[in-house]
Amino acid sequence: MKKQSKILNWLEERFDLSGINKFIDKKVVPVHKYHFWYGIGGIAMFLFVVQAVTGILLLLYYRPSADNAFESVEFIMTSVRFGWLIRSIHSWGANLMIFVLFVHMFSTFFMKAYRKPRELTWISGVILLVLSLAFGFSGYLLPWNKLAYFATKVGTEMASLVPFVGKEILIFLRGGEDVTGATLTRFFGFHVALLPAITMIFLGIHLLFIQAQGMSVPPSIEEEYKKNPKSIKFFPDFLLRDAVGWLVVLGLLGILAALFPWELGEKADPFASAPQGIKPEWFFVFLFETLKYVPPKILIFEGEVLAILAIALGVVFWMLVPFFDKRAQLNKPSPLFTAIGVTLVLYIIIMTAVSYLFS
């Protein structure tokens, strides 16, 4: 028998672990000048775990009703031992995770990792990003404070712009005509049950595909790489490198959460007037700003309705990029798609900056 831990021996006497052992032995990660970017997906996964753990801890004290939500978060922050830290880590972690996901998405985009055979990995990734944005949107309302209340009012109103079924979507999201306690209860259900369940399914699919297909090598260096292929073993070498990244991110999260504790603000008051310059969370700001520049009427159509349709089409296009980028599928350079990616990154940065600096 091989020299290994007693636990492994015990398991091996009972189950056939040869498949797993072979997989562990065989799995390697390519090493080249873009190797660094392979770690970003792992950081997103690490942050997802942090969100799950801190979220479960918050659940022990949080109460999802208009009468109690704000007070329960106040209680967590003032009376529960380390409650303020857990809440702060959960809030900072959510924002950091979405930021990391954007970096992961654009890095895999520019490395053309969506090429055959990884089209479905890309599609499951886009779905995971949409789910993460929905986590952010639903979680924002849960403390039931003034800013979140009005931002949710504005955000859900956008849904009513969808032609034909806008009103139905609005009522489904709000649990009625207005943002009320019913909306809070509904968002709570989305945030702690529905979204985690759907995310687990798509995360499972995403990770399964990656394990089955291994990591891609960007086409720009593929020829060069084939001449001199270098790789490291996934277990334990790559995993240990990944773990260093996770530790750095955990340190950053700790510093942000402790030095800049997440604020609670004032309790929501549906009868108060909306605060000036209300904005959604930063990751929606570029879309919010875009809508401001749309004229009220474009030909015979309402400008905002057309804009919402254009955004929806944009998301579908982005999801189907692997099928549109025919040159990348043939392993040829596709400068048009690189240019589309660069334009999108610049657009997001510029619109977000304009919104925070000038409006």
Whether cis (ω within 30° of 0) applies to the bond prior to 236 is: yes
Give backbone dihedrals phi and psi of 268, rounded to 5 degrees, phi first. Answer: -65, 140
Q: Which of 101, 151, 257, 351 binds ligand HEM (CB under 6 A)?
A: 101
* Least spacing, CB of residue 23 vs ligand HEM, in Å: 16
Q: How far is the CB of 347 from ligand HEM (least distance, A)?
A: 17
Residue 337 within binding range of ligand HEM, rule CB under 6 A: no
Q: Which of 44, 192, 256, 328 binds ligand HEM (CB under 6 A)?
A: 44
Say whether residue 40 binds ligand HEM (CB under 6 A): yes
Whether the CB-CB separation of 302 and 296 falls below 8 Å is answered with yes
CA distance 102 to 95: 11
Lookup: tokens for 295? 């004229």
**Whole-number Cα distances in Å, 356 to 218, 277, 328, 342, 353:** 35, 10, 36, 21, 5
* Shortest spacing between CB 198 and ligand HEM, in angstroms: 12
Cβ of residue 102: shortest distance to ligand HEM, in angstroms? 8
Helix axes 119-141, 282-292, angle to 10 degrees: 90
Which tokens go with 25?
Answer: 């032995």
In 3D space, the residue among 348, 249, 195, 330 whose CA is nearest the CA of residue 43 turns out to be 249
Interface with ligand HEM, residue 195, by CB under 6 A: no
249 binds ligand HEM (CB under 6 A): no
Residue numbers 107-136 binding ligand HEM by CB under 6 A: 108, 111, 113-114, 118, 121-122, 125-126, 128-129, 132
CA distance 49 to 51: 5
The answer to whether 280 contacts ligand HEM (rule: CB under 6 A) is no
Query: How far is 109 from 343, CA to CA, in rounded Å?
Result: 13
Q: Least CB distance from residue 327 to ligand HEM, whole Å?
A: 17
Closest contact distance (angstroms) between CB of 37 and ligand HEM is: 7
Q: What does the binding site for ligand HEM look like in residue numbers (CB under 6 A)? A: 38, 40-42, 44-45, 48, 101, 104-105, 108, 111, 113-114, 118, 121-122, 125-126, 128-129, 132, 203, 206, 210, 215-216
